[in-house]
């Protein structure tokens, strides 16, 4: 059943040699063909920019109607493999370029930030600023703590915030990024610190998801609410 559903819109799409005006008044087959083609195009926009759309449509038409392929299976596999290799090489080059730029940006920022009288730099390279002093207990690496925080990139983009969610978090001090593990042990309950964390003490050369790029220097505002029993 799935095969029939997929083939029908492809045949409609590929049989048109010219642009067809489609609206919600069009026959359902036209709407289905347009919808499937649009969604496929939108979801693969980056890849489709690299190919010849005319031969793409030709391949859909001939493949869906069982015509003999202009290329052998081996030749098609080779073309797809070559494209993947080129795509991977481009992604790697872009990744390395971003990592280099972020590393330099972070180095420049931390160098200038260290000159501020309110900022302290530790031996590891962690920088911190005391926003509010505390008067309670200080945690150890093995301690479990309750904190509120907000994390930002150097451009000011907030990538995570328990403050915005109004949901403090609990965790063991040793189970977070090194910059947090070190910084939290400098705090007392009730304190609010701003951490400036170099990439080497954060997510390093890999980054984290889409939000944190490789070699990103991060800024965290952290309030130590409680050292838990």
Cβ contact 186:121 at 8 Å: no
Q: Give the range of the structural domain holding residue 36, as residue numbers without chain letter.
A: 2-64
Whether residue 104 sits in one domain with residue 59 = no
CA angle at residue 217 from 92 to 188, to 5 degrees?
145
Instruction: Check which CATH number belongs to the domain holding 123 and give it.
Output: 3.10.50.40
Q: Are residues 131 and 197 in the same domain?
A: yes
Cα separation, 229 vs 227, in Å, equals 7
- Residue 187 belongs to some domain of the structure: yes
Residue 12 lies in a domain: yes
Same domain? 60 vs 103:
no
pTM of the model: 0.74
> In which residue are the tokens 């038409």 written?
61
Pick out the chain residues at pLDDT < 50. Answer: 1-17
- Residue at token pair 């063991």: 172
106 and 39 in a common domain: no
Looking at the structure, tell me whether residues 205 and 104 fall in a common domain: yes
At residue 48, the pLDDT reads 86
Structure confidence at residue 19 (pLDDT): 61
Mean predicted lDDT score pLDDT of the chain = 90
- Tokens describing residue 161: 């915030």
* Number of domain units in the chain: 2
DSSP-derived letter for residue 185 is: T
CB atoms within 10 A of CB 198: 22
């Amino acid at each position: 059943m799935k095969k029939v559903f997929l083939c029908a819109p492809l045949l409609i799409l590929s049989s048109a040699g010219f642009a067809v005006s489609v609206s919600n008044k069009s026959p359902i087959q036209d709407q289905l063909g347009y919808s499937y083609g649009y969604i496929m195009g939108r979801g693969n926009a980056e890849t489709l920019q690299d190919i010849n759309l005319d031969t793409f449509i030709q391949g859909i038409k001939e493949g869906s109607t069982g015509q003999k392929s202009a290329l052998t299976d081996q030749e098609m596999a080779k073309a797809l493999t070559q494209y993947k290799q080129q795509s991977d090489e481009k992604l790697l080059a872009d990744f390395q370029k971003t990592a280099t730029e972020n590393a330099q940006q972070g180095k420049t920022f931390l160098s200038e930030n260290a000159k501020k009288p309110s900022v302290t730099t530790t031996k590891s390279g962690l920088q911190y600023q005391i926003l509010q002093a505390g008067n309670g207990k200080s945690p150890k690496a093995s301690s479990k703590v309750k904190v509120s925080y907000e994390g930002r990139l150097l451009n000011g983009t907030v990538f995570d915030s328990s403050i915005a969610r109004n949901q403090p978090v609990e965790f063991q001090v040793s189970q977070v990024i090194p910059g947090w593990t070190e910084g939290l042990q400098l705090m007392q309950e009730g304190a609010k610190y701003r951490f400036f964390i170099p990439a080497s003490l954060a997510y390093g050369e890999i980054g984290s998801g889409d939000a944190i790029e490789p070699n990103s220097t991060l800024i965290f505002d952290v309030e130590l609410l409680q050292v838990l029993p």
